[in-house]
């Protein structure tokens, strides 16, 4: 039986530029917010980082960059919504076209470049939301912050000041905060994953977040790339363990998009013609799970791990939880499967016995 959304996607959405289709689809979701907000959250609650998540499934950063539809997205069934990536300064991102479907691979290639309205505008929007919806109601809200493109990646002091701008403005509105050092679409950003640069950056963001939220400790996570060598993944794991001990870091999100083009069904010449960018979706699944397993084997049970990358349904989500994730996130499968997908996955996880209690 062909699903209505599959017909719509195959015969309508694929004829529209992917970025325009995203904006149209997201506008439709936001229009349905009054109805969606009345729906009960599916699934079983999960406790992590001192927070209670309505269920184990979250929406990864990148879908709602400017925090314009948090509660509508939660109404679709996501237990947490991670907004951003938000940068200290507003920026347009890379030139279009910059978002491409790889339909044969159930994947997306993007080089968006952290296009967003900037930390101040997003903070003001979240402050207005807080008036309507007090903290503790609705989904868990994550805020993902990254480096502004104009900031030189080789100037550690400037980088820290840029992240400071975002953290100071956004931490008061976040249930948890994520330092993104792993997007392939901001030049030099991934160099910040080197432990000697990452450690002082995370410590600085921790101090800033604590100053911005007196009386409340906002959990801090770091998001890493799947393209790190295994030894570098383990080095990040060791840093995370030390960060947990020093009350700096609470978890790791594994993983961001990949620059690898291996194993794609889409013809290589077609992919090459699309140009640079990170691939998300099904081709990422195996490496994302392998990175997660490496991390869990090294960090033990004390750190929260969020599994993301290629999770395309209940079985994949349950497998990622079994591999060591406390929570899972999705984005690309949501695009391919449609608005009913999150509720179906979250509900199935609750019935599988694989979601952590």
Q: Which residues are catalytic?
A: 183
- Three-state DSSP state, 12: coil
Residue 334 annotated as part of some ligand binding site = no
Residue 147 is labelled as binding a ligand? no
The rounded Cα 238 to chain-centroid distance in angstroms is 22
According to the annotation, is 223 in a ligand binding site?
A: yes
- Is position 116 annotated in a ligand binding site? no
Is 65 annotated in a binding site? The answer is yes
Distance CA 291, CA 266 (A): 25
- Edge-to-edge strand order for the sheet containing 99-102? 99-102, 107-110, 278-281
61 is in an annotated binding site: yes
- What would you measure as the largest C-alpha separation in the chain, in angstroms? 57
Residue 186 assigned as binding residue: no
DSSP 8-class letter at 95: P
Residues 6+ apart with CB under 8 A from 232: 193
**Residue 3, both tokens:** 């699903």
Helix axes 230-245, 195-212, angle to 10 degrees: 30
What residue spans of 33-155 are helical by DSSP H? 33-36, 70-75, 119-132
Query: Is 276 one of the annotated binding-site residues?
Result: no
331 among annotated binding-site residues: yes
| Residue 256, annotated as binding a ligand | yes
According to the annotation, is 66 in a ligand binding site?
no
Binding residues are 61-65, 85, 110-114, 144, 180, 185, 223, 255-257, 281, 310, 331-332
Binding residues for substrate are 65, 110-114, 180, 185, 256-257
Binding residues for FMN are 61-65, 85, 144, 180, 223, 255, 281, 310, 331-332
């Amino acid at each position: 039986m062909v699903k209505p959304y599959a017909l719509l996607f195959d015969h309508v959405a694929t004829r529209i530029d992917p970025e325009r289709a995203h904006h149209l689809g997201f506008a439709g979701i936001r229009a349905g917010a009054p109805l969606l907000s009345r729906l009960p959250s599916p699934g079983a609650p999960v406790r992590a980082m001192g927070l209670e998540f309505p269920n184990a499934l979250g929406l990864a950063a990148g879908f709602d960059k400017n925090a314009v539809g948090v509660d509508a997205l939660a109404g679709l069934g996501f237990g947490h919504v991670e907004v951003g990536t938000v940068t200290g300064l507003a920026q347009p991102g890379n030139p279009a076209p910059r978002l491409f479907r790889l339909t044969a691979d159930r994947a997306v290639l993007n080089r968006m470049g952290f296009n967003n309205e900037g930390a101040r505008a997003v903070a003001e929007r979240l402050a207005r939301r807080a008036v309507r919806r007090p903290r503790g109601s609705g989904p868990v809200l994550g805020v993902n912050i990254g480096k502004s493109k104009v900031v030189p990646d080789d100037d550690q002091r400037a980088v820290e000041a840029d992240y400071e701008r975002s953290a100071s403005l956004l931490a008061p509105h976040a249930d948890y905060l994520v330092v993104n050092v792993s997007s392939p679409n901001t030049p030099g950003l991934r160099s910040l994953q080197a432990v000697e640069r990452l450690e002082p950056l995370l410590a600085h963001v921790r101090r800033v977040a604590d100053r911005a939220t007196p009386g409340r400790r906002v959990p801090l996570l770091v998001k890493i790339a799947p393209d790190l060598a295994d030894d570098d993944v383990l080095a990040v794991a060791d840093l995370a363990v030390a960060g947990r001990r020093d009350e700096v870091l609470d978890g790791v999100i594994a993983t961001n998009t990949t620059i690898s083009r291996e194993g794609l069904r889409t013809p290589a010449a077609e992919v090459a013609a699309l140009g640079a960018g990170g691939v998300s979706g099904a081709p990422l699944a195996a490496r994302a799970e392998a990175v997660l397993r490496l991390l869990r084997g090294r960090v033990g049970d004390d750190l929260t791990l969020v599994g993301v990358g290629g999770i395309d349904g209940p079985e994949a989500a349950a497998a990622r939880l079994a591999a060591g994730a406390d929570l899972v996130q999705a984005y690309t499968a949501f695009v391919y499967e449609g608005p009913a997908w999150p509720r179906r996955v979250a509900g199935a996880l609750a019935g599988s016995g694989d979601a952590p209690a």
